[in-house]
Amino acid sequence: MKTDFLVLGSGLAGLRFALKVSDHGSVTVVTKGKIQEATTARAQGGIAAVLDPKDSFEGHIQDTLNAGEGLCHEEVVRQVIRDAPAQIKDLMQLGVQFSKDAAGHLALAKEGGHGMARVAHAQDATGAEIERALVQSCRQHPNIKIFEDHMAVDLITNRHLESKQRSPKPRCYGAYVLDIKTQEIKTFQAKITLLATGGAGKVYLYTSNPDSASGDGMALAYRAGCTLTNMEFVQFHPTCLYHPEAKNFLISEALRGEGGILKLLTGEPFIKRYDPRGDLATRDIVARAIDSELKKSGNPYVWLDISHKPSHFIKERFPNIYQTCLKYGIDITTSPIPVVPAAHYFCGGVATNQQGRTTLENLSACGEVAHTGLHGANRLASNSLLEAAAYACYAAQDAIQKLKESHESPNIPDWDPKGATDSNEEVVLSQNWEEIRTFMWNYVGIVRSNKRLERAQNRIKLLLDEIHEYYWNFKINKNLLELRNLSLVAHLIIQSALWRKESRGLHYNIDTPHSDPAYQKDTLAIGRP
């Protein structure tokens, strides 16, 4: 299958890119599940942008730099934040319905780390509204083909070609893709490929992410020789609903922005003991504070209480959270919500420049899979959808130009299974899957130590060898691909965390609890093609 633009992923970053390039060539969108099931659809909070005359770009820039603790790339921060109002306007033109106040202006919320209310939102289901509008536009465009239930196996690079066809520079030519329903592996040949596969929250036992977030794009890029950056910086959202039946349900930071208070089970507020900003401190501080109190008390959760606010306000501002909690027997207008931290967002990822280009020719990346330099050591709330929207535009502009310079396409060989047979040992997959997620949570989670990281390193080395052997012996399926990717991402997180002999932002090591100027630089993991 040949296409001008191949997009791997169907969240905000992938679909926005697809729409931007669709008038300039053929576009193929490959998504592991159904198109609307991307992580974007779960985003509750909103998009941060300077939209209030009393606000300023410099204020948003400084809040972002402060959260990033010395690792933000300032030129990227300034570029993205100055473009933010235009991104909101562009999304509205696509049909995104943001919430408005009584005067008809965009309603702006305040979240942790922000000095002003500057978060545009669609009640408490912003991501779902953005995804709805983008999916509708993509389905209507004649140049966009969508392949649901398809998953990339590997990127096609020079190593897949005969020597006489290889380009002088390492180059991406598309991807081998598994049709999950038929188990057939197809060849998707493309002039430009975009990674927009999201994050890797599933590498941890507890996460706010959907099951699809298994680090696929990060692993694909590393195996193709790309550089990955700052993989140790994993953001744990402080407040996920604690309930045995409520899988992965996030309680938006906007709830604290509207006056929600974190309390111990005794009813005592506690966050100000850790930071004078209290409940609106940045996510790394709040998550560590909750983790510390849970370890001290032995309790499984803390309370998040907004019941002191008027009932009608809570129901109108947070209809999704209200209805979901009510389904589990919790009326948030009268009772506090039991919450725990969970893995939420990767600040590291595939290294890109300011046009979204990776270190592999004709391969771009944007969204959570990418490291652009915007977030540094800790992402400021509601800057993620902003980054995805902005970099989809930058990458699209660059891709349109590169398409004009594209070379003649080589002959791509079909996928070679190399004698693989059907597996009769699926239990190996489930066993290794659970083991990785458990030791990553216990040893490489919110609080780390040298000893814990070394234990994790020893375990992942053994598992990588075992999974590698299994991969080449048996026929590929979705579970095997996800385990292969997830184990590699776990390895990169551990190696990056071991290298950083300090505590900064989301990386907190009790053996080196302070930041060190010698480590005020990005961690690089150079891919091995």
- What is the length of the chain? 529
Contact 229, 261 (CB under 8 A): no
Q: What does CATH list as the number for 427-516?
A: 1.20.58.100
Residue ranges of the domains in the chain? Answer: 2-233+347-404, 235-343, 427-516
**Backbone torsions φ then ψ of 247, nearest 5 degrees:** -75, 120
Give pLDDT tens digits for 250-265: 998 889 989 999 999 9
Give 120: exposed, middle or buried? Use CB within 10 Å, 0-12, 13-18, 19+. Answer: buried
The CATH architecture of the domain made up of 2-233+347-404 is 3-Layer(bba) Sandwich (3.50)
Closest CA to 138 of 32, 234, 253, 11: 11
Does the pTM exceed 0.95?
no
The amino acid occupying position 415 is W
Low-confidence ranges of the chain (pLDDT < 50): none
Backbone dihedral region of 330: left (phi > 0), alpha (psi from -120 to 50 degrees) or beta? Answer: beta
Q: Which residues of 349-365 are buried (b: 16+ CB within 10 A; e: fewer)?
A: bbbbeebbbbbbbbbbb
| Strand ranges inside 252-410, DSSP E | 261-263, 302-305, 337-346, 349-351, 363-365, 370-371
Contacts of 384 by beta carbon, 8 Å cutoff, 6+ apart? 43, 345, 368, 375
- Interatomic CA distance for residues 512 and 53, integer angstroms: 43
Please tell us whether the domain made up of 235-343 is placed in CATH 3.90.700.10. yes
Same fold, 2-233+347-404 and 427-516: no
| Contact yes or no for 421/154 (Cβ under 8 A) | no
pLDDT at residue 164, rounded to an integer? 67
* 105: Cβ contacts below 8 Å, ≥ 6 apart: none
Residue pair 72/376 in contact (Cβ under 8 Å)? The answer is: yes
Tell me whether residue 47 is exposed, middle or buried, using C-beta atoms within 10 angstroms of its C-beta: 0 to 12, 13 to 18, 19 or more: buried
Residues 105, 62: contact at Cβ < 8 Å? no
The CA-based angle 496-501-506, given to 5 degrees, is 65
Which of 283, 448, 459, 504 is flagged as catalytic?
283
Q: Is 283 a catalytic residue?
A: yes
Mapped to the 3 state alphabet, what secondary structure does 256-270 carry? Answer: HHCCCEEECCCCCEC
242, 300 in Cβ contact below 8 A? yes
- Token output for 196: 């927009």
* b (16+ CB within 10 A) / e for 455-476: bbbebbeebbeebeebeeebeb
- For residue range 305-322, list pLDDT tens digits in order: 999 999 999 999 999 999
pLDDT of residue 473: 83
